[in-house]
Amino acid sequence: MTEFKNAVERQKKLLEAEVWADGIAGIHAFDTRKVTMAYDNHLDDGHVVDTTFNDGRIERRIDGKLIRILGEKLEGDELIDKYLRLT
C-alpha cells in the first residue's frame, strides 16, 4: 500500500496547485504607449488591463476582450514546485 502513497500525495499537491494557479496575483491597467513593462514589447496595444495569475502568466485585455496571453500556464512538476515555493 505504501508504494502508492507518494503518487497520491503528488496528485493531491497537483490538484491544490491547479486551483492556486488560477488565482489572481495582480491587476494593472495602463497605456502601453506611455508605460513600458519589463515582460512586454507590444507598445502599440494602447489602454490595456493586464491580469497576472499566481502561476505567472499574464492575460492582456482591451475593453474586456482577451488579446494575448504573456507567458505559459505551468503544468505538472513545474506548477507543483512554484506552488510549494510561494505558499
Question: Which one has a higher pLDDT value, 3 or 61?
Answer: 61
Question: Would the pTM count as exceeding 0.75?
Answer: yes
Residue range 1-21: mean pLDDT, rounded: 90
pLDDT by residue (tens digit) across 36-49?
899 988 999 999 99
- Binning pLDDT at 50, 70 and 90, where does residue 6 land? confident
* For the chain, counts of helices (H) and of strands (E): 2, 4
User: How does pLDDT run across 58-81, given as a tens digit for each residue?
Assistant: 999 999 999 999 999 999 999 999
